[in-house]
């Protein structure tokens, strides 16, 4: 596919690099000459220096022959204008990053009127991910599939858990729960298990199941499954606003600490049911005073990564059973992972996931589509959701008879609204939605799982 990326900030660079690695023809546009030259030479792609909302600049980028333009500059209005011009000049698909909360209520109207393929709000996506995670306090990561009817949950196996030394094939039967263990992280090793694989204490395990089965499974293995009823958040930015809206509507008590008095006043107007505290969220006496030890969950959502890490480490020793840490930069990812911070949210990564999911779906012309994509296990694997539009080599044959590539697992089947956790005798059918866990990247069609 021919793709134009406008804006070479961190998200734009990450997107362009990844899309280029998946054999797309990438052109980047930015008005900073050195950034364009350095990036285009590093990845051997075409670079255009100029304003991406300028017609002549887009023509220089060959928008007339582009399949997709992605606008991720720092300005919402500029992104929308880039997409509008691209639709008129090249009639290509367009994706715009729009972050201002003032546009959120009108986003469907904007998308329809401008003919956008997708509108991405990184902060809103991050808030949605956090609210999903808070449903399962024992889970480190939670990803939704099949319109959130099925979920992929990651947790750590306690050293004294009943799961230790159990064969994967025996666990659903003994627990009487319809869940499938689909990935195991043991130190630096990633295992896509078969039925004879056994779990060990401190393993990081990913399971697929429906919400009720997952919650009951956690109870049976001795993990906390009670719902979060209160949360303390440091930082009053856009993610906090979107998250608080969702949590308050679900009856969760929300306290927010924000140092900027004008922002506090604004949050009081926007979130009248929340408790807004004007103060420094890094002041440990303050966060103790406002109830850190009594709250169920704590989220460090300031704009400074270092503050978020230190706050989360402090909170971990002082009560909350669920801790969320927002990290914008990923340069020190390996160090941060070793700190065992519970759940870490990378808004930029989430933005990339959504866009790459759409690109793969566009590229596909073989009868199935990538409906959902999640990077899991520190980006070592992907969880992909495919819809099977027509019969093919993968349909109507028992899974145990299909020659599925090594490192690929069929984790879930949705048929007529019902979630099926597959066994060897199950078959894929036309009209099914299928979740695939894979260590391979770049799968575009369900048939790609076969040797």
Q: Are 172 and 257 members of one domain?
A: no
Q: Are 12 and 67 members of one domain?
A: yes
Distance CA 306, CA 326 (A): 10
For 401-413, the DSSP string reads GS-BPTTEEEEEE
Which DSSP category does 67 fall into? S
Distance CA 355, CA 376 (A): 16
Q: Please report, for the chain, how many H helices and E strands are present, in that order.
A: 14, 22
Cβ of 281: how many Cβ atoms within 10 Å?
Answer: 24
Give residue 269's domain range: 230-320
Q: CA separation (Å) from 437 to 249, 295, 408?
A: 33, 35, 6
Q: Are 31 and 106 members of one domain?
A: yes
Q: Is residue 359 part of a domain?
A: no
The secondary structure element, H or E, covering residue 347 is helix 347-363
Residue-wise pLDDT for 15-51, tens only, equals 899 899 888 899 999 999 999 999 999 998 999 999 9
Residue-wise pLDDT for 83-116, tens only, equals 999 999 988 999 999 988 888 778 888 888 888 9
Q: Are 105 and 163 members of one domain?
A: no
Distance CA 215, CA 192 (A): 23
Distance CA 16, CA 353 (A): 13
- Whether residue 172 contacts residue 220, with contact meaning beta carbons closer than 8 Å, is answered with no
HSE (CB half, 13 Å, CA atoms) of 369? Answer: 9
Q: Are 234 and 207 members of one domain?
A: no
| Domain CATH for 65 | 3.40.50.720
Q: How many structural domains does the chain have? A: 4
Q: Is residue 401 part of a domain?
A: yes
HSE (CB half, 13 Å, CA atoms) of 414? Answer: 21
Domain final position from 76, 100, 120:
120
Domain final position from 220, 251, 270:
220
Query: Which residue, among 389, 408, 410, 235, has the nearest Cα to 312 in the 3D structure?
Result: 235
Each residue's pLDDT, cut to its tens digit, for the chain (451 residues) gives 899 999 999 889 988 998 998 888 999 999 999 999 999 999 989 999 999 999 999 999 999 999 999 999 999 999 999 999 999 998 899 999 998 888 877 888 888 888 898 899 989 999 998 998 888 888 888 877 766 677 888 888 888 888 888 888 888 777 777 788 888 988 878 888 887 888 888 888 888 877 777 777 887 777 766 788 999 999 999 999 999 999 999 999 999 999 999 999 999 999 999 999 999 988 989 999 999 999 999 999 999 999 999 999 999 888 778 999 998 876 666 677 677 788 889 888 888 888 887 887 776 544 446 777 777 776 778 888 888 888 889 999 999 899 998 888 898 898 888 888 888 889 999 999 898 988 887 787 888 898 8
Q: Is residue 330 part of a domain?
A: no
Q: What is the 3-state secondary structure (H, E, C) of 152-169?
A: EEEEECCCCCCCCCCEHH
Q: Are 56 and 153 members of one domain?
A: no
Q: Are 6 and 37 members of one domain?
A: yes
């Amino acid at each position: 596919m021919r793709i134009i990326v406008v804006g070479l900030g961190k998200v734009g660079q990450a997107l362009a690099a990844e899309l280029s690695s998946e054999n797309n023809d990438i052109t980047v546009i930015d008005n900073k000459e050195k950034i364009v030259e350095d990036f285009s030479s590093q990845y051997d792609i075409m670079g255009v220096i100029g304003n991406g909302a300028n017609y002549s600049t887009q023509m220089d980028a060959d928008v007339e022959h582009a399949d997709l333009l992605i606008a991720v500059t720092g300005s919402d209005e500029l992104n929308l204008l880039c997409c509008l011009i691209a639709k008129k000049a090249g009639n290509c698909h367009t994706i715009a990053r729009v972050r201002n909360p003032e546009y959120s209520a009108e986003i469907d109207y904007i998308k329809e009127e401008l003919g956008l393929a997708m509108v991405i709000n990184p902060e809103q996506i991050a808030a949605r991910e956090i609210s999903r995670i808070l449903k399962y306090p024992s889970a480190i990561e939670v990803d939704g599939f099949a319109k959130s009817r099925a979920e992929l949950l990651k947790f750590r196996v306690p050293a004294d858990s009943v799961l230790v030394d159990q064969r994967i094939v025996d666990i659903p039967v003994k627990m009487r729960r319809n869940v499938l263990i689909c990935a195991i992280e043991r130190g630096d090793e990633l295992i896509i298990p078969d039925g004879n694989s056994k779990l060990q204490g401190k393993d990081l395990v990913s399971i697929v199941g429906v919400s009720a089965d997952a919650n009951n499974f956690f109870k049976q293995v001795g993990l906390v499954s009670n719902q979060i009823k209160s949360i303390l958040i440091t930082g009053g930015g856009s993610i906090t606003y979107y998250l608080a809206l969702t949590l308050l509507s679900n009856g969760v008590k929300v306290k927010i600490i924000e140092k900027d008095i004008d922002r506090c006043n604004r949050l009081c107007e926007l979130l009248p049911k929340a408790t807004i505290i004007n103060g420094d969220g890094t002041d440990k006496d303050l966060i103790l005073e406002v109830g850190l030890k009594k709250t169920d969950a704590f989220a460090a959502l300031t704009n400074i990564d270092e503050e978020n890490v230190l706050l989360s480490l402090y909170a971990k020793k002082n009560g909350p059973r669920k801790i969320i840490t927002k990290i914008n930069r990923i340069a020190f990812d390996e160090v941060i992972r070793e700190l065992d911070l519970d759940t870490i949210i990378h808004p930029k990564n989430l933005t990339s996931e959504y866009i790459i999911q759409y690109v793969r779906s566009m590229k596909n012309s073989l009868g199935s589509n990538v409906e959902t994509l999640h990077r899991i296990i520190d980006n070592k694997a992907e969880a992909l959701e495919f819809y099977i539009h027509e019969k093919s080599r993968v349909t109507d044959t028992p899974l145990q008879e299909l020659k599925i590539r090594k490192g690929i697992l069929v984790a879930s089947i949705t048929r007529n609204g019902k979630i099926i956790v597959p066994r060897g005798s199950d078959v894929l059918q036309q009209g099914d939605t299928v979740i695939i866990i894979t260590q391979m990247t770049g799968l575009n069609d369900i048939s790609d799982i076969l040797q």
